[in-house]
Structure 1
Amino acid sequence: MRGNALPGAELVVRAIAETAIENEKYFGDLDAVVGDGDLGYSLARGFEKVIDGWDGIDRSDAGTFLKRSGMIIASRIGGTSGPLWGTAFLRAGAAAGSAEDLSGEQVVAMLRAAIEGIKARGQSDVGDKTLLDVLVPMTDRLERDFAAGAGAGEALRVAAVVAREAAEATKEMVAKRGRAAYTGERSRGSVDAGATAVAVIVERINQTWQQRGAAS
């Protein structure tokens, strides 16, 4: 991703926002299976605020842009989603710092920081049937691929596949966090809504990135 610090950050945040808004009903329906069903609504309302204020978000550097976006998200998304997504953006932005050029290694560091923020804020970890069950294996794969010299396009294509497979794997898990945890064994057999949302978003980011590369 070298040479595209801010354009890359803008592309990713815009893709996340548009995906959250367009999939409001889908994410909500998934969450309603064993949760409270508000995931789609919460994400859509929060990212609508990001889109509404898009031109006014500070773009001094990628880190600032991500942190400002995270503040908007945290202030608008309700329930448990707001703190988790807001923390993820703020931690990723802090990890990016004032770097003018984001390398694959830095992107992985940003994702690791976001993951640690989510773990601390949500008191959760891999295996609890949450979005971490997609974010962690996806980041692990990105780290390996970037270390092996993969370019952004290639790494993203693989990351999208890994994210989808990881989301599908949550079907066999028992929820240990959030409202779904109250359903116990009944949560087995359905995918986690947050994990699936991340997979859909990563697929969208990949698609957008590939189209951007083809057009350039």
Structure 2
Amino acid sequence: MNDLELTEFVVKTIADTAIENESFFCELDSVVGDGDFGYSLARGFEKLLENWDDIDRSSVPVFLQKCAMILTSRIGGSSGPIWGTAFMRASAVARQHESLDASVLVAMIRSAIEGIQARGGAEFGDKTLIDVLAPMADEIEAASGLSGKQIAERVAVRADEAAEATKEMIAKRGRASYTAERSIGSVDAGGKGVAVITRALADAWPES
């Protein structure tokens, strides 16, 4: 697959996985949050898929930017700005490179993290999806040189480990922060959502 086809594959898999796991993500979020994470995410990605054939594909950056605009306008709660910012930051990084490789993907994820932090003020250890995204970027960087399939598998394992590690953290951002110490023992819904999506990507990633 060329860069655009690979980007389409990644975004489509994210969308399908978010929609398929709506109930599971809501269940995760209901433990210490308001329980709407899965619903909000699913509605946003449903809208994305409704407009799928009409999204501008003149380049990878443009495609990601258009996806960001749809997600920002359709995902409710705090998830809209977070996911929209992530896609927009990824688009900005892609615009600076002629092609995509592991190093560019790392830069895209780290820029997305910076954007999310600027939006919501979250820091590492605050029990948010940042605590999963950062280890993912580190794993991609460490696995550079392996095949895409091998990297995807390693990243999926690392993401799940990072998501499970959020159980020991105290939530300091979002609705979950209201529960303080009671948030210990449950995973961060957003972080676990990223891990589930990453596993789906690894399972579906083409061999070559």
TM-score by length of 2: 0.97
Q: Is 1:91–2:89 an aligned residue pair?
A: yes
Q: What aligned pairs does 1:1-216 form with structure 2 within 5 A after superposition? A: 4-97=2-95, 99-146=97-144, 149-209=145-205, 212-213=206-207
CA distance in 2, matches of 1:173, 1:4: 40
Letter of the 1:51 counterpart: L
The alignment partner of 2:32 has SS state of coil
Q: CA deviation at 1:11?
A: 0.6
The alignment partner of 1:176 has SS state of coil
The alignment partner of 2:143 has SS state of helix
Measured against aligned partners, the alpha-carbon deviations of 1:19-70 in whole angstroms (never above 9, x if no partner) come to 1100000000100000011100000000001100000011111111111101
Measured against aligned partners, the alpha-carbon deviations of 1:145-192 in whole angstroms (never above 9, x if no partner) come to 11xx22211111100000000000111111000010010100000111
The alignment partner of 1:58 has SS state of coil
CA distance in 2, matches of 1:77, 1:112: 22
Q: Structure 2: any 5+ residue segments left out of the alignment?
A: none
Does the CA-based 8 Å contact 1:66-1:89 persist in structure 2? yes
Q: CA deviation at 1:103?
A: 1.2
CA distance in 1, matches of 2:167, 2:69: 32
The alignment partner of 1:37 has SS state of coil
CA distance in 2, matches of 1:38, 1:193: 10
* Greater mean deviation of Cα atoms: 133-142 or 90-99: 90-99
Q: CA deviation at 1:104?
A: 1.1
When the two chains are superposed, the root-mean-square deviation of aligned CA atoms in Å is 1.2
Letter of the 2:179 counterpart: T
CA distance in 2, matches of 1:21, 1:161: 22
The alignment partner of 1:185 has SS state of helix
Spell out structure 1 runs of 4+ moving beyond 3 A: none
